[in-house]
Amino acid sequence: MKTTRMDGASPTATRRAWHALESAEALERLESSENGLASDEAARRLEEHGANRLAPPAGKSPLLRFLSHFHNMLIYLLLVAAVVTALLGHWVDTGVIMGVVFINSFIGFMQEGKAERALDAIRNLLSLKAMLLRDGRKAPVPAEEIVPGDIVLLQSGDKVPADLRLIKAKNLRIDESILTGESVAASKHTDCAPEPAALGDQRSMAFSGTLVTYGQATGVVTATGEHTEIGRISAMLSDVEPLATPLIQKMSAFGRVLAVVIIGVAAVTFSIGVFVHSFPAGSTFLAAVSLAVAAIPEGLPAIMTITLSIGVQRMAGRHAIIRHLPAVDTLGAVTTICSDKTGTLTRNEMTARSVHLPDQRFAAEGVGYAPRGQLHLDGEAVGSPAEHPALLALLETGLLCNDASLREDQGQWHIDGDPTEGALLVLAQKAGLDPEALSEAHPRLDSIPFESEHRYMATLNGDGAGGTRICVKGAPERILDMCTAQGWGEDECALDRAYWEQVLDGEAQLGQRLLAVAYRTSEPDRSTLDMAVVEGGLTLLGVVGIIDPPRDEAIRAIAECQSAGIRVKMITGDHAATARAIGQELSIGDGKHALTGRDLDKMGDDELRKAVEETDIFARVDPEHKLRLVRAVQANGHVVAMTGDGVNDAPALKSADVGVAMGRRGTEVSKEASDMVLTDDNFASIAHAVEEGRTVYDNLRKAILFVLPASGGEALTIIAAVLLGWEEMPITPVQILWVNMVCSITLGIALAFEPPEKDVMRRPPRHPKANLLSSHFLWRISFVSALLCAGTFGVFLWALDKGADIEVARTAAVNTLVFFEVFYLFGVRHIHSSVLNFEGIFGNRVVLAAALTIVVAQLLYTYVPLSHTLFGTASLNPAFWAVILAVAAVVFVVVEMEKVILARIRFAKIS
């Protein structure tokens, strides 16, 4: 298509009142047509207008982000210390302190940037696709490639990918709250709106970023990227999430309080030194600063952020994309998972296995989508379906009321579209029908697409003889309610409902998914379809039984969840008997109990609360029931993860503690409402996410359990020295900085890479309200701190006693402290269980690498002359090392003994 600009500007450059133009005129001005653009023209326009994306929210400049790392209590304290040391003329100390301040801020800045980029990359995995008409054909295209003039097809659940002038709309309702703040979805049509109209009144437009909650439409793109209405509201776009979860926020708040307390303790220590022991103010001040620097766990926030970002990356690697970071904490506490059945617990590879007519049952051969195999009647292969007109009518109706297509790719057969419809398509092809010829002979005039809410699909087709026919397929109970007759042609008679109910029950017991097919002749001049027309006077042609086998990995994942104390509930739109049968294969429920949507309707809230404790299978439920179910399970004190894919699942997804949307099958509306999106729609991925959630929580706790005693041990050493009246500190301020900023952080970060513990899915979920600093934690932190203090101070005194110089004694003390941390790091790898096994010692390569790095660092610290100048260290002879390592190893032995003793006490309490 050649383009001549009508006004010399690009279509989006000038702002037009597109809503006030007739759709035909809008198409003309945008030099497009109802068949869409040609691909080469679209490519040309893409070059001209740029990608259809919004500029990322303007974040803080790198300089500001770097400087923000100086805005921290510890750094202020260090800056004061730098000034004091400078005033005292201790220039080396000043230089080291300033160096540490910069290095610390730089590392924080780099790590934060890395974590942010990793999370951004994960969010980008959820990029939007839109259904376009290009070259006259429907094709899904990445939303970024949309250009003005493109024709976009919308259906309920979609996110509008660009600003559109609607050219066709059917029952269209759009949630525009993101733009207008109006929470009720606006109904849309194609009529022109008056020229000056507020956004909310532009009913002939659909705006980028809004959500289609009902109906279908076609529109021509009028603006993309920053020229869209959403692109103009820059404020809306700065919703950058902080890198935090409730646990991390709690810890940062705790850290701030701790810092204030520590500065208070430092002030008291300073006063005791100066006023009780009459030490010189200058050196006592430095001791007080060392104390504060030692005790403030400055590395903890960085370690926690890294742990979180590694956890989120691991989840993404296992098909679970986290949209809201707080969900990572919650996942670890999940006690109930409510899952859809089709496609999540089952494979969603549907094969029709039986066809029930009023007086005959046909069986179909084959599995999967290959259209090979035959239909059998009473064990005899059926030759041509023409010999069985009633069967032919059912197969044809199932083909006309169908949007799926079948394709072969390198010998593999695939379905594009809904697998349930695919099963009917394959069945018809097995019987030798030609879908294309049929749809040419019976062109489709209108349709009502399938929605879980009404559970059927209907189409209006030409009947090949100048009249029209309504074709319907859907959930049998629903279709039976709409039928008055059954059978085909001369055999048509009144509906025998009891017979069909018996058939349905029998087939459903086999775990088959059931689909009823019905039709009605309609007025010759009818060209549109609505529910009132469809829902009555139909003739039932028959029922098709479809198998959809459970996923093997779901069976394993459910067993894993159950051993992890997590209850799995199945919530499905399918028949109760089908759900029970599949439930039994998956080990959900007891095979006897199942409640249906109708049962739920009859129950009050209290009754429902009781029922959800006893029942795990809920069948024939509507999306609204899901919301009630989530609330009832939550009211019983459970933490609920709930899956959903449809538009109407959004309220339940939002209410659940963790809303889980399906990345492949799910609508954009459900993804927007969720906390986590599964890229493979697979139940097993939820179980993996729970495992990773528990691991992240464990690793955050391990980081706390490692960092706090390390800080506590250093601080106690200094306090002890001052209280005992030692003027020469066992560790100087710069040495404390070395230990904290280099050793503790390097070792602590290694814990972020801890793999899941073996029993992580064998223990019950943690209590959602459990206190982070449990009594066990407080005990462990206190006794390890005391041990570190005693060892460090002890080695210092021992060295002095042996006649060593103060520099040698301090070097020995610092090495003792650092090796205490190295040994303790291994002990912390498992909070409760022993690490005295191969996995415990060698299971985390990052821990091994960190320990090795620290060994090298300490050798440099001890023997390199530059270190002697900077840190005031001195070389040690081998005898010192023997004592240092022997003392440091004590912490490992004692912590392992503590685990054994506590396990015995716990065991004794249980038995």
Any contact of residue 204 with ligand ATP (CB under 6 A)? no
Q: How far is the CB of 60 from ligand ATP (least distance, A)?
A: 43
475-494 residues near ligand ATP, rule: CB under 6 A: 475
Q: How far is the CB of 569 from ligand ATP (least distance, A)?
A: 12
Nearer to ligand ATP, 297 or 476 (CB): 476
* Residue among 148 and 573 whose Cβ is closer to ligand ATP: 573
SS3 content of the chain, % helix, strand, coil (to 5): 50, 15, 30
Q: Which of 572, 634, 811, 816 touches ligand ATP by CB under 6 A?
A: 572
Where does this chain touch ligand ATP (CB under 6 A) — which range of 183-191, 338-346, 351-359, 898-906? Answer: 338-346
Min separation Cβ 396 and ligand ATP, Å: 16
Phi then psi dihedrals of residue 724, to 5 deg: -80, 0
Provide the 3-class DSSP secondary structure of residue 678: strand
CB of 715 to ligand ATP, least distance (A): 56
Q: Is 421 in the site for ligand ATP (CB under 6 A)?
A: yes
User: Which stretch, 470-478, 484-492, 745-753, 896-904, contacts ligand ATP (CB under 6 A)?
Assistant: 470-478
Among 145, 229, 418, 668, binds ligand ATP (CB under 6 A): 418
Residue of the chain from 19, 173, 341, 766 that contacts ligand ATP (CB under 6 A): 341
According to the binding rule CB under 6 A, does residue 342 interact with ligand ATP? yes
Q: Which two tokens stand for residue 85?
A: 């040391």
- Quick one: which of 95, 108, 106, 63 has its CA closest to 298? 108
| CA–CA separation, 723 and 616 (whole Å) | 63
Cα-based distances in Å from 615 to 215, 338, 589, 596, 621: 35, 12, 7, 11, 14
Closer residue to ligand ATP (CB): 513 or 899? 513
- Residue whose CB is less far from ligand ATP, 452 or 486: 452
Q: Which of 94, 210, 452, 858 binds ligand ATP (CB under 6 A)?
A: 452
List CB contacts of 552: < 8 A, sequence separation 6 or more: none
Query: Which three-class secondary structure state does DSSP give residue 617?
Result: strand
End-to-end CA distance of the chain: 82
Q: Which of 16, 455, 593, 654 binds ligand ATP (CB under 6 A)?
A: 455
Among 574, 616, 649, 754, binds ligand ATP (CB under 6 A): 574
Tell me whether residue 340 is one of the annotated catalytic residues.
Answer: yes
Name which of residues 672 to 731 contact ligand ATP (CB under 6 A).
none
The nearest distance, CB 564 to ligand ATP, in angstroms, is 23
Using a 10 angstrom Cβ sphere, with 0-12 exposed, 13-18 middle and 19 or more buried, the burial of residue 654 is: middle
DSSP code per residue over 285-327? HHHHHHHHHHHS-TTHHHHHHHHHHHHHHHHHHTTEEESSTHH
Which residue among the candidates 158, 175, 340, 548 is catalytic per the annotation?
340
Amino acid at 894: V
Residue nearest ligand ATP (C-beta atom): 573
Region from 5-13, 259-267, 369-377, 448-456 binding ligand ATP, contact rule CB under 6 A: 448-456
233 close to 54: Cβ distance less than 8 angstroms: no
CA–CA dist 557, 568 (Å, integer): 10
CB of 681 to ligand ATP, least distance (A): 10
473 vs 688 by CB, closer to ligand ATP: 473
Contacts of 757 (CB under 8 A, 6+ apart): 695, 698, 830, 833
Residue 450 within binding range of ligand ATP, rule CB under 6 A: yes
867-896 footprint of ligand ATP as x/- string (CB under 6 A): ------------------------------
Contacts of 725 (CB under 8 A, 6+ apart): 277
Joined together, the tokens standing for residue 839 give 């996995």
Report CA-CA distances (Å) from 778 to 556, 708, 717.
Answer: 38, 10, 19
Contact code string over 512-551 relative to ligand ATP, x by CB under 6 A: -xxx------------------------------------
Taking phi first (over 0 means left), then psi (-120 to 50 degrees means alpha), and beta for anything else, what does residue 278 get? left
DSSP state string for 868-908:
HHHH------HHHHHHHHHHHHHHHHHHHHHHHHHHHHHHH
DSSP class of residue 32 equals: -
Q: Does 457 bind ligand ATP (CB under 6 A)?
A: yes
What is the Cα–Cα distance from 90 to 66, expressed in whole angstroms? 28
Q: Which is nearer to ligand ATP, 585 or 727 (CB)?
A: 585
CA angle 874, 880, 885 (to 5 degrees): 115
CB of 342 to ligand ATP, least distance (A): 4
Instruction: Say how many residues touch ligand ATP, by CB under 6 A.
Output: 20
Residue 545 beta carbon to ligand ATP: minimum distance, rounded to whole angstroms: 10
Which of 135-143, 308-316, 413-421, 674-682 is the region at the interface with ligand ATP (rule: CB under 6 A)?
A: 413-421
With b for 16 or more beta-carbon neighbours within 10 A and e for fewer, the 592-613 pattern comes to eebbbbebbeebeeeebbebbe
Identify the CA nearest to 708 among candidates 786, 650, 607, 760. Answer: 786
Residue nearer to ligand ATP on the CB measure, 659 or 765:
659
Minimum distance from residue 476 beta carbon to ligand ATP (Å): 7
Instruction: Give least dist CB 596 to ligand ATP, A.
Output: 12
Residue placing its CB nearer to ligand ATP in the complex, 420 or 867: 420
Biggest CA-to-CA distance, the chain? 115
The single residue among 148, 398, 573, 693 that binds ligand ATP, judged by CB under 6 A, is 573
- Does residue 473 belong to the site contacting ligand ATP (CB under 6 A)? yes
Residues with active-site annotation:
340
Interface residues toward ligand ATP, by CB under 6 A: 340-342, 418, 420-421, 450, 452, 455-457, 473-475, 513-515, 572-574
